[in-house]
Amino acid sequence: MAYWPQKPPLPETSEQLRARIPGWGVDLDPKDRPAVPQEVFDPAGYGAHWEFPDRQPEGYGPRERSVEHAFLPPVFGTTAPLHGVSGRIRRFAYDRFSEGRNAHWLLLIAADRVDTFEGLLTAAASGRPDDPVTESGVLAEAGHHPVGSRAGRVDAHHQWIDPVVVAGPWVAAAAGVAVAGAAVVRRLTR
């Protein structure tokens, strides 16, 4: 466990590990370590007054924690507490799947996409919706040598898809709204 000053006992002895895993423990002898003689293990010399550091209160409710760890680290970030549907997806990913499973990471990616959509809805509800035309710099592009400024850049191989990546979701959303609106109008006029 990384949070205790003492090294925990190994589930197998060094001899068992060395016999089972080729190359295991090649630096076990301190004489073979590059840091020796600088490396000094002196538990009383590091100045910590605690056996285990004080734990930070969780504040906004339980933080997400990997199932591989027994508990949260003593200090953790609090700048982005879980919220909304994206928070529930992240909580499910951490509670259910190990970090070694693809499902864990795919759920976190999905939660990021949902969080983006939640941000769009929040901005629209606040009366200040996102403006992809001015915020993306598309209008400034025309007045600042749009073709000449792209020549010789290292990102030239993906420049062709940049407009699709930037405008594609907005075009798809507009098309979805148009199709849904047309369906509603058809249903109302029958």
Q: Which residues contact 24 (CB under 8 A, 6 or more apart)?
A: 17, 18
Q: What's the pLDDT score for residue 95?
A: 93
Q: What's the pLDDT score for residue 3?
A: 67
Total-model pTM: 0.58
The span from the CA of 57 to the CA of 60, in Å, is 9
Q: What's the pLDDT score for residue 130?
A: 85
Q: What's the pLDDT score for residue 67?
A: 87
The span from the CA of 172 to the CA of 170, in Å, is 5
Q: Are 97 and 64 in contact (CB under 8 A)?
A: no
pLDDT-flagged residues of the chain (< 70): 1-5, 36-41, 43, 46
Q: What's the pLDDT score for residue 43?
A: 67
The span from the CA of 132 to the CA of 168, in Å, is 11
Which amino acid makes up residue 53? P
